[in-house]
Amino acid sequence: MTGSEASPSFRLAYVPGVTPTKWVRIWNERLPDIPLTLVAVPAAEATALLRAGEADAGFVRLPVDGADLSAIPLYTEQTVVVIPKDHVAAAVDEVSLAELADDIVLHPLDDTLGWEELPGRPAIERPATTADAVELVAAGVGVLAVPQSLARLHHRKDLTYRPLSDAPESRIALSWPEDRTTDLVEDFIGIVRGRTVNSSRGRGTASAEQPKAKAKRADGRKPAAGSPAGKNARGGSGGAKGAKGARGAKGAAGAKRGKPRRRP
């Protein structure tokens, strides 16, 4: 656990394109006394940061190398091609890899897509970062294939993007060192997986509230059919029905003992 036992804290790393706002908000609601610190990290450096203990857990891009890191895949991103607004591909809804055959397709050093074969024509030099590659696209040097979240992150008014079919996709996962699966890491895993505060797999408040829930069920529900209370209830009900039936029979008998009808 990052920090000391006297003053616990939680550090969460995240790679470009990931927006952890929702999960951070839930953390702050459930664990207001334990501060969560966000650590922005380049995708290529995320696993090294986790191994070094500089974060308790992190949102990374798969694959994660090494058996010492655990990972929970969360979602897969659509791959898009970033192009100038006056590019011919801006007139269509989707672009295929084959349609980029005549374009220079930039391949930055921090590329997160696992290409088996790069599309289009290669640039003379590889840009150092995705941000540098976006600047080159704006200058008319080429186009760029990236996960959609990165296209949004580096949005410019003079550029647009279109879905790119047949391209590899990027997957986002929550990862942490397997030998440091602390209680706080478990808490965050529960938040990411959508567990409620009262989930049976939760800790702290959840375990404390479960006995109360049972007590409420014991007091609030009707007695079970096989319980003594249930039998007594049925017996009482049956007695009432029996009394009612007896009164009904007596009334019927009285009706029969009424005045005899005269003979014609």
d(CA 214, CA 228): 20
Which is it for strands 10-14 and 36-40: parallel, antiparallel or unpaired?
Answer: parallel
pLDDT for the residue 198: 73
pLDDT for the residue 115: 93
Q: What is the pTM of this model?
A: 0.72
d(CA 160, CA 194): 34
Residues of the chain falling short of pLDDT 70 = 1-6, 199-264
Give the domains, in start order, of the chain with CATH numbers.
10-76+171-212 (3.40.190.10), 79-168 (3.40.190.10)
CA nearest neighbour of 143 among 188, 82, 192: 82
Residues sharing a CB contact under 8 Å with residue 202, sequence separation 6 or more, in sequence order? 187, 190, 195, 196
**Tokens describing residue 78:** 């659509």
d(CA 79, CA 76): 9
d(CA 203, CA 130): 41
pLDDT for the residue 201: 52
Q: Quick one: DSSP state of residue 8? A: B
Q: Quick one: DSSP state of residue 175? A: E
Q: Where are the beta strands (DSSP E) in the chain?
A: 10-14, 36-40, 57-61, 69-77, 79-84, 95-96, 105-106, 143-147, 159-165, 170-177
pLDDT for the residue 67: 87
